[in-house]
A = this chain, B = another copy of it.
Amino acid sequence: MENLRSGYLFPEISKREFDHRQKHPQEKLIRLGIGDTTEPIPDIITSAMAEYALALSTVGGYKGYGAEQGNKELRVAIAEKLYRNMGIKGNEVFVSDGAQCDISRLQMLFGSDVTVAVQDPSFPAYIDSSVIFGRGGKFEEETGQYGNITYMKCCPENNFFPNLSTRNTPKTDVIFFCSPNNPTGNAASYHQLKRLVEFAKSNGSIIIYDSSYAAFISDHSPRSIYEIPGAKQVAIEISSFSKCAGFTGVRLGWTIVPEELRYSNGFPVIKDFDRIMCTCFNGASSISQAGGLACLSEEGYKAMIAVVDYYKENAKIIAETFTSLGLKVYGGENAPYIWVHFPGQTSWDVFTEILSKTHIMTIPGTGFGPAGQEYIRFSAFGHRETVLEASRRLRNLYK
């Protein structure tokens, strides 16, 4: 723990928000920072949870412990609805209380001597949990990086895909890869992911692929790493109902560990992960799982995607705001995040300027790694009128 710097990004951002509110109690603060869902959950989904909860008061409907790996019906529904034609089976799906929690449980699979690579920029929990598990060295203020961790730079110059030549990317045991990416909003292409899988195969690496934003993909980018042939031998996939179903507070996610995935000694990784789920976890809330099942029903899925489309329209509004101001804008089409370039400025300076002058919360790019310098992440979660108001304020600031 000692190597970990004191501030985790998101609580730090919350603190800044709190301080700003204290200073400007009369201003209407707009939150485009932390990626927190804002729209009501479709009725068909909450009704399923309410019904399940009420049934727990009846002799016939009461249920105690569920399987640690998740309700079988939900595991099969995830496999069949979201991984159709990829050959993922229900027993390879482990239902959880969210992707962030699964990241830490996956860390338990490996000894403290494994090496880790992450995209730069990336969601901070990959690095922070790696440091907690003893895989990161000291933090170097100068580079903005922890020792012993490989930062794979992903920026417009390389189409947001790391240079996988041996010189640039050393052999690493575990590669965290998020697509559509948080924070850049970029979805990796089929050919990029094919190269990633090949790299992992030739290096004996395990990819931990985070597809939490897959429901936001608009084009033909892969929605899962398992669309790539051979990925089952090298990749674990984590994902979540948080952003697609508004389950950030309800807590429900899943991890796929294919039977084909083996350690270098041939032992199946799925057996160890199953043991970790049984020892260090005790199943996701049965009520949340009833909600997850409703999300995957025909009607529930349609309603859920309608909310995703609403957020995508928000993303379009934010992206167009900056495009019209002549700034370079990335993401937004396949993800609820818009990644805006402010050349020549530090991201904390831009963050502070936007907050103090427009009362809009954002996230400074360097919060996601040193390659986020000069960038700001805008979240597309929010009510439409709030997003439109944010757009007006930003146009006024930069006109």
Question: Footprint of B on A, CB under 8 Å?
Answer: 1, 4, 6, 8, 10-11, 34, 36-43, 45-47, 49-51, 53-54, 56-59, 61-66, 68, 97-98, 100-101, 103-104, 108-109, 111-112, 125, 128-129, 132-134, 246, 248-251, 271-272, 275-276, 278-288, 291, 381
Contact of A98 among B58, B278, B282 (CB under 8 A): B282
Identify the closest chain B residue to A253 (Cβ): B282
A36–B282 Cα gap in the complex (Å)?
12
Closest chain B CB from A137 CB (angstroms): 15
A100–B111 Cα gap in the complex (Å)?
22
A10-B278, A40-B58, A251-B283 given; 13 more Cβ-contact pairs under 8 Å: A1-B108, A41-B56, A46-B57, A53-B287, A56-B249, A62-B246, A66-B249, A100-B281, A103-B280, A108-B133, A111-B134, A112-B112, A132-B280
Contact present for B250 and A4 (CB under 8 Å): no
Task: Provide the main secondary structure of the chain A interface.
Answer: loop
Contact present for A57 and B41 (CB under 8 Å): yes
Identify the closest chain B residue to A110 (Cβ): B1
Q: List 6 A-B contacts (CB under 8 A).
A: A11-B278, A38-B62, A42-B57, A53-B53, A97-B284, A104-B108
Contact of A283 among B45, B51, B64, B249 (CB under 8 A): B249
Contact of A250 among B103, B279, B287 (CB under 8 A): B287
A275–B36 Cα gap in the complex (Å)?
20
A51–B40 Cα gap in the complex (Å)?
14
Within 8 Å CB of A8, what residues of B? 275, 278-279
Closest chain B CB from A396 CB (angstroms): 27
Closest chain B CB from A364 CB (angstroms): 18
Contact of A287 among B62, B133, B285 (CB under 8 A): B285
A34–B132 Cα gap in the complex (Å)?
33
A41–B111 Cα gap in the complex (Å)?
42
Within 8 Å CB of A104, what residues of B? 108, 279-281
Within 8 Å CB of A272, what residues of B? 1
A221–B47 Cα gap in the complex (Å)?
43
